[in-house]
């Protein structure tokens, strides 16, 4: 069994009384984890309150007070690709993630994630992702290594002060009459829960997409997301009729099968650029990973 040596957190929201039980909250928050599994974790002292004390089945629901737990999976598949550390100073660490590797623990992955790999490799006491990219996507990810300055870097993403560029491949037989698009729409969680969808309403997702070149029946696209919604670029590309090569979620959900490491999603977080809020320097990081033409 894979067990994370690092705790994950969940924060009970401030909901109207009467409050649910701790068990009711955990089962609703994590629908894919059986109730019996939570009962076993609590009985074994593996769910802690904010003070680090094990909770019990009788512990009360406390809004906005974090709970700590340790993720477990029965069998964890090894991802046979290596991450690369591009930069590290007293405030941030920038890494280039391979395809298939999640940024943080989730689903069937605990130790096989970029966060825990970097913790072991760099021997860092504090490490927290400032932003995230999909498990299926390769490319640049930035982490905070300093709690005191972490909020400054989070604010860069929140305030739209980070330049992000991606590259993607999609079947495309010739240059279109229109080669550049500004896509603006509203993205929300769809069905099933791990797929997103677009709905009418206030715009919360904006991307600029450019067809850069076409050869051998394949188009190379340059993508600049101005917002950071889950699966935003995958949805925006498929909405234009250019489903990203090897995408198993969009435009159509494919049957669930084991990862085919020979067919990674052809989407790379190519570049990240910003003015460092601590040093004032312009910072640019570029991934050297390649697309498969």
Bond prior to 265 in cis (omega within 30° of 0) = no
Of the chain, the end-to-end C-alpha distance in Å amounts to 38
Q: To 5 degrees, how large is the angle CA 233–CA 238–CA 243?
A: 100
pLDDT per position as a tens digit, 259-271: 999 999 999 999 9
Q: Which helix (H) or strand (E) holds 169?
A: strand 163-171
Question: What pLDDT, in 10s, does the model give residues 8-33?
Answer: 889 999 999 999 999 999 999 888 88
Contact 109, 102 (CB under 8 A): yes
The Cα 46–Cα 32 span in angstroms is 18
Residue 234 has pLDDT above 80, yes or no: yes
Q: For the segment 97-144, what is each residue's pLDDT rounded down to a tens digit?
A: 999 999 998 878 888 999 999 999 988 879 999 999 999 999 999 999
Instruction: Report how far apart, in Å, the C-alpha atoms of 217 and of each of 243, 252, 266 are.
Output: 14, 21, 15
Q: What is the pLDDT of residue 1?
A: 60
Architecture of the domain made up of 84-160:
2-Layer Sandwich (3.30)
Which homologous superfamily does the CATH classification assign to the domain defined by 165-268? Pseudouridine synthase (3.30.2350.10)
Pinpoint the residues of the chain covered by CATH 3.10.290.10.
Answer: 2-73
* Distance set, CA 230 to CA 30, 33, 79, 132, 153 (Å): 18, 22, 22, 9, 20
209-226 pLDDT, tens per residue? Answer: 999 999 989 999 999 999
Q: What are phi and psi of 38, to 5 degrees?
A: -65, -40
Confidence label for 176 from pLDDT (cuts 50, 70 and 90):
low
Which is nearest to 82 in space by CA: 94, 100, 107?
Answer: 100
pLDDT of residue 242 exceeding 80, the answer is yes
φ, ψ of residue 207 to 5 degrees: the values are: -145, 145
Tens of pLDDT, residue by residue over 73-96, are 777 889 999 999 999 999 999 999
This prediction has a pTM of 0.85
Which among 214, 115, 210, 202 has a CA at the least distance from the CA of 174? 214
Average pLDDT value for the chain: 93
CATH of the structural domain 2-73, one choice from 3.10.290.10, 3.80.30.20, 3.20.20.140, 3.40.50.1220:
3.10.290.10
Domain(s) of CATH 3.30.2350.10: residues in the chain = 84-160, 165-268
């Amino acid at each position: 069994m894979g067990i994370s040596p690092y705790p994950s957190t969940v924060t009970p929201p401030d909901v109207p009384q009467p409050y649910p039980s701790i068990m009711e909250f955990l089962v609703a928050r994590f629908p894919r984890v059986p109730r019996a599994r939570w009962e076993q974790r609590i009985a074994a002292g593996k769910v802690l309150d904010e003070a680090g004390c094990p909770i019990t089945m009788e512990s009360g629901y406390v809004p906005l007070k974090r709970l700590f737990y340790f993720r477990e999976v029965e069998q964890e598949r090894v991802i046979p690709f290596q991450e690369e550390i591009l930069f590290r100073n007293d405030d941030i660490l920038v890494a280039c993630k391979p395809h298939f590797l999640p940024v943080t623990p989730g689903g069937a992955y605990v130790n096989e994630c970029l966060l825990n790999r970097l913790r072991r490799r760099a021997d860092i006491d504090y490490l927290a992702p400032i932003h995230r990219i999909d498990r299926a996507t390769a490319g640049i990810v930035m982490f905070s290594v300093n709690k005191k300055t972490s909020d400054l870097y989070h604010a860069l993403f929140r305030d739209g002060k980070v330049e992000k560029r991606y590259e993607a491949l999609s079947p495309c037989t010739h240059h279109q009459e229109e080669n550049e698009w500004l896509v603006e729409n509203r993205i929300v969680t769809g069905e099933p829960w791990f797929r997103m969808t677009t709905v009418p309403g206030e715009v919360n997702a904006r991307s600029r997409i450019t067809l850069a070149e076409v050869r051998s029946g394949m188009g190379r696209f340059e993508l600049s997301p101005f917002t950071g919604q889950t699966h935003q670029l995958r949805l925006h590309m498929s909405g234009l009729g250019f489903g990203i090569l090897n995408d198993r979620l969009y435009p159509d959900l494919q049957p669930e099968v084991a990862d085919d490491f020979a067919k990674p999603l052809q989407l790379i977080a190519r570049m990240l650029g910003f003015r460092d809020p601590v040093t004032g320097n312009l910072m640019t990081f570029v991934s050297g990973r390649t697309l498969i033409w």
